[in-house]
Homo-oligomer: A and B are copies of this chain.
Amino acid sequence: MQQRIVVLAGGIGGARFLRGLKSAVPDADITVIGNTGDDIHLFGLKVCPDLDTVMYTLGGGIHEEQGWGRAGESFAVKEELAAYGVGPEWFGLGDRDFATHIVRTQMLGAGYPLSAVTEALCRRWQPGVRLLPMSDDRVETHVLIDDPDGEGRKAVHFQEYWVRLHAATPAHAIVPVGAEEAKPAPGVLEAIAAADVILFPPSNPVVSVGTILAVPGVREAVASAAAPVVGLSPIVGNAPVRGMADKVLEAVGVESTAAAVARHYGSGLIDGWLVDTVDADAVAEVESAGIRCRSVPLMMTDVEATARMAAQALALAEEVRA
């Protein structure tokens, strides 16, 4: 019987991990629960950066070097919007990417839920996994920062914090607006309950995996799942492998270390944790928190290296299960 693997994924890190996972276990039945907390409405269009990054990466349409957006992209629409004085200019949507958002927005406007829209978009991309948004309801991650124009604080959309401000100003809080009222998308809880293995890729533990877990019912489903739950540290040598996870970890009071992130998830949620070989010292600390831990190379330098990481995560899951 096919191994059923559920992966809670953010954007670039999650997508690259999934490509390695597919390579490691090509016959597995993989369900991806994608973060939609960084979705944003731009130019009246619904943009789902993480879902699209997973879809484009696994479907062969991704801009490889950049890690997001489409390969062979052009920017005529964006240039024209700027000529109309319509922004924001800091979010780089290409022409090919625009088409995805146009189709999505049209379908949402026609009444289809995001999960059905995502399924329709995936009929073209054939990502080889079942890609589910964490929720059909709107959840938007906001970041509380010092108001650059005043004395108080203000909340900005995660994309503004991340893309426009480059996370260069301290984040005082991360708020997944709407999460409390959101329901898991159809199939999410069922996939978790039926999983043989649940994996947390080296995605951002706060604004990617953390947001998915903030949808009521998801954390509980993962915690109570029969399947072993194994995560891979996005922190290597006390710094994020990519992105700015340290900035948002600080906002939730978590140190930027492989061990601290494992403790942040906690033994109530995860059963196993992989740290990089440079963090071998952390193994004992993680295990003392009740989480089985191994140190292995965690740099996703290419698909082969990533496949080995995925295989190690699956091996650790079997070890936990046994």
Interface of A is mostly: helix
| Min C-beta distance of A129 to chain B, whole Å | 19
Does A277 sit within 8 A of B, measured CB to CB?
A: no
CB pair A106–B43 under 8 Å, yes or no, is yes
- Contacts of A103 on B, CB cut-off 8 Å? 43, 81, 84, 86
Contact of A45 (CB < 8 Å), options: B80, B86, B102: B102
- Contacts of A96 on B, CB cut-off 8 Å? 76-77, 80
CB pair B106–A80 under 8 Å, yes or no, is no
In the complex, which residue of chain B has the Cβ closest to the Cβ of A44?
B106
| Min C-beta distance of A161 to chain B, whole Å | 23
Does A28 sit within 8 A of B, measured CB to CB?
A: no
CB pair A124–B85 under 8 Å, yes or no, is yes
Give the docked Cα–Cα distance between A86 and B80 (Å).
23
CB pair B99–A80 under 8 Å, yes or no, is yes
The size of the chain A interface, using a CB distance under 8 A, is: 30
A sample of 14 inter-chain contacts (CB < 8 A) reads A43-B102, A43-B103, A43-B106, A44-B102, A44-B106, A74-B76, A77-B96, A77-B98, A80-B96, A80-B99, A81-B102, A83-B124, A84-B99, A84-B121
In the complex, which residue of chain B has the Cβ closest to the Cβ of A80?
B99
* CB under 8 Å from chain B, chain A span 63-115: 74, 76-81, 83-86, 94-96, 98-100, 102-103, 105-106, 109-110
- Contacts of A124 on B, CB cut-off 8 Å? 83-85
Give chain A's interface residues, CB within 8 Å of chain B.
43-45, 74, 76-81, 83-86, 94-96, 98-100, 102-103, 105-106, 109-110, 120-121, 123-124
- Contacts of A44 on B, CB cut-off 8 Å? 102, 105-106, 109-110
Contact of A86 (CB < 8 Å), options: B78, B81, B85, B106: B106
- Contacts of A121 on B, CB cut-off 8 Å? 84
| Min C-beta distance of A111 to chain B, whole Å | 12
Give the docked Cα–Cα distance between A20 and B100 (Å).
41
Give the docked Cα–Cα distance between A86 and B86 (Å).
26
Give the docked Cα–Cα distance between A44 and B100 (Å).
12
